[in-house]
């Protein structure tokens, strides 16, 4: 499944499969995102090899991303939620207005039942 997978990771998986001559095809999420975006193997006999390759890739990616994150933390360059709020406070206010409006509209009918 490719739902929620970053573009760079899915591209690296494609390159990995191509490098090991594993034939595959993809299904997109569709116009409304309700279909299952996924990479499928043409030959089920290559499934175990593909699983091993992807598991190894994921371990290496995890180690690489963790090392990058730790380096950013040491350098003081990692962005936190508070950094994002400081950079764009209007967005936070907009989100809060939308959230409060939805909460109000969702609970108002129930609050009016007691009247």
- Dihedral sign (CA 13, 16, 18, 20): negative
pLDDT tens by residue, 48-99: 999 999 999 999 999 999 999 999 989 988 888 898 999 999 999 999 999 9
Tell whether the model's pLDDT for residue 16 goes beyond 80: yes
Q: What is the CA radius of gyration of the chain?
A: 22
Both tokens of residue 100? 């409060």
CB 78 within 8 A of CB 72: yes
CB burial string 17-49: b at 16+ within 10 A, e below:
beeeebebeeeeeeeeeeeebebebeeeebeee
Tell me the mean pLDDT in the region 93-106. Answer: 96
β 24-27/38-41 pair status: antiparallel
0.95 exceeded by pTM: no
Task: Work out the pLDDT band at 30, boundaries 50, 70, 90.
Answer: confident
């Amino acid at each position: 499944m490719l739902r929620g997978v970053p573009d760079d990771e899915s591209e690296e998986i494609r390159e990995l499969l191509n490098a090991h001559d594993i034939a595959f095809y993809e299904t997109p999420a569709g116009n409304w995102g309700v279909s299952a975006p996924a990479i499928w193997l043409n030959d089920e006999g290559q499934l175990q090899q593909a699983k091993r390759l992807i598991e190894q890739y994921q371990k290496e990616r995890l180690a690489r991303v963790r090392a990058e994150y730790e380096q950013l933390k040491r350098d003081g360059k990692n962005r936190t939620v508070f950094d994002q709020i400081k950079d764009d406070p209007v967005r936070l206010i907009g989100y809060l207005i939308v959230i409060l409006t939805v909460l109000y509209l969702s609970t108002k009918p129930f609050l009016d039942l007691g009247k």
